[in-house]
């Protein structure tokens, strides 16, 4: 699963997710892509599940590019723990996604196959997306 090799700080604030994606909003590598329609957090597990779905459907044909990286640590406190006593331990890593960001790209496959593979991948994510092509 994707996670940063090292980070300057172990824990981060939750931050804000308003505004549109300016960078990473155009297809750069492949001919087809999956574009986000809303803001949210996409976990490393969701990214991996989507990647696997695409790879499985295309029978390892074509090229797949992952355009997002989960570099934000999310902490969680243990169950049945009283409030206070500091911030919880890092539970998972997420990628902050804004509307308009390209999440995945595909190339060297037919339109029909790419559309279905990307549709399957979209089901694995927790945000609204749409299929885009050049």
- What DSSP line would sit under 70-133, residue for residue? --EEEEEPPTT--S-SS--EEEEEEEEE-TT-EEEEEESS-HHHHHHHHHHHHTTSSS-EEEEE
CA–CA separation, 127 vs 108, rounded Å? Answer: 26
In what helix (H) or strand (E) does residue 53 lie, and over which residues does it extend? helix 44-57
**Each residue's pLDDT tens digit, 32-90:** 999 999 999 999 999 999 999 999 999 988 999 999 999 999 999 999 999 999 999 99
Model confidence, pTM: 0.94
Residues 111-134 have pLDDT tens digits of: 999 999 999 999 999 999 999 999
């Amino acid at each position: 699963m994707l996670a940063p090799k090292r980070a300057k700080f172990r824990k981060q604030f939750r931050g804000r997710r308003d505004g549109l994606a300016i960078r990473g909003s155009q297809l750069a590598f492949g001919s087809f892509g999956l574009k986000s329609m809303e803001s949210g957090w996409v976990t490393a597990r969701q990214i991996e599940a989507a990647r696997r779905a695409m790879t499985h459907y295309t029978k390892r044909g074509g090229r797949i590019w992952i355009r997002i990286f989960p570099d934000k640590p999310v902490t969680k406190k243990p169950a049945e723990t009283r409030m206070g006593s500091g911030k919880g331990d890092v539970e998972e890593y997420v990628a902050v996604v804004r509307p308009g960001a390209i999440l995945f790209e595909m190339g060297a496959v037919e339109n029909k196959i790419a559309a279905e593979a990307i549709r399957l991948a979209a089901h694995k994510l927790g945000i609204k997306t749409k299929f885009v092509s050049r």
